[in-house]
Copies of this chain bind each other. A is one copy, B any other.
Amino acid sequence: MQDLNLFVIFARVVESGSFAEAARKMRISRSAVSKAISKLEKSLGAQLLNRSTRVLSLTEAGTVLAEHSAHILDEAEQAERVVNSLQAEPRGMLKVSASVAFGTLHVAPALADFLSRYPEIRIDLTITDRPVDLIGEGYDVIIRVTNEPDLNLVARKLAPVRRKLCATPQYFEKNGVPQTPEDLIKHNCLDYTLSGEQGYWNFTGPEGVIAVPVSGTLRINDDDALSQAVLGGLGIALLPTFTVGKDLQSGKLQAVLSEYIPVERYVYACYLPSRHVPAKVRSFIEFLLMRIGTIPYWDQDA
């Protein structure tokens, strides 16, 4: 394969009409240009330029090569421009993955705003709780709720996820209100599949950290569905305020043992570590940060 840089030099010479002029434009010496052309001619096995000290003229081979070289130069400059623009301006396709509950309740509703703010961005949002392969599937950003994000990723903490022990008033009427964490053992504790240690709920209370063994008749891998189950009066669960904030306000759910704080989880926006984060990713994360804030809107008056 040819050394394409020679094509570039050749194109410059042709458009300049002289070696010296081309050399000045490219800020290299005349001899460098001379050697480049000679090398190109040698490697192609064809004379490209007939030259005396004063006059240059293209051979037929030179003429066709000049055309191709100009195209190449063009294409390269264009490529450089579009990549730069893609990098510097928020535009293009943004592939996002978000977990089911949070994605549905808070990411998806926010996208309209985001897209109208950045009209050149398009979004491909995948809602799933399954672990995704950022590299293989080509995601720009994934939004996950977890207490310990993947160490191989850049994880931007968007907001804390506060959780509360909730059930319906009806449930408490029937089964009593637990006064201490230990009382939970007597209750139907609905569990979130992906939470840390199975079978235990951990709290930080007045006495420090405690682990309460719990058991229940239902386990779901989605916070929103879990909330629905609790709303149906099935039992008690540790529910994030981002799903049940309204229900707590409206009284459809009731929180108990509020002085015992479950291990805090966070909403993270994660992306691949790279020195070169495209503008679309930066602006998306900044938008989310602004939208969700340090004290998320669903917690503001909870």
Contact = CB atoms under 8 A, between A and B. Distances in A.
Interface of A: 1-5, 7-8, 26, 41-42, 44-47, 50-52, 55-61, 64-65, 68-69, 71-72, 75-76, 78-80, 82-84, 86-87, 92-93, 133-138, 140, 272, 274-278, 280
Contacts of A58: 138
A41 B276 contact: yes
Given A44-B80, A72-B76, A138-B58, A4 B1 contact: no
Given A41-B276, A47-B276, A272-B50, A75 B71 contact: yes
A23 to B, nearest CB: 14
Contacts of A8: 1, 4
Contacts of A7: 4, 76, 79
Within the oligomer, what is the number of copies of this chain? 2
A78 B87 contact: no
Given A1-B8, A50-B272, A136 B57 contact: yes
B50 A278 contact: no
B1 A60 contact: no
A55 B133 CA distance: 10
Nearest to A43: B80
Contacts of A56: 135
9 contacts: A1-B76, A7-B76, A44-B80, A44-B83, A46-B278, A57-B135, A61-B83, A64-B79, A71-B75
B71 A276 contact: no
A45 B276 contact: yes
Contacts of A2: 76, 80
A96 to B, nearest CB: 13
A120 B68 CA distance: 21
Contact of A83 (B1, B46, B71): B46
Contacts of A50: 134-135, 138, 272
Nearest to A87: B46
Given A4-B76, A47-B272, A61-B87, 18 more contacts: A1-B26, A4-B5, A41-B276, A44-B84, A45-B84, A45-B276, A46-B84, A46-B86, A46-B87, A47-B274, A47-B277, A52-B135, A55-B133, A59-B140, A60-B93, A60-B278, A61-B83, A68-B76
A18 B59 CA distance: 41
A136 to B, nearest CB: 5
Given A55-B133, A64-B79, A83-B65, A4 B46 contact: no
A87 B59 CA distance: 11
A72 B69 contact: no
Contacts of A87: 44-46, 61
A69 B41 CA distance: 24
A12 to B, nearest CB: 9
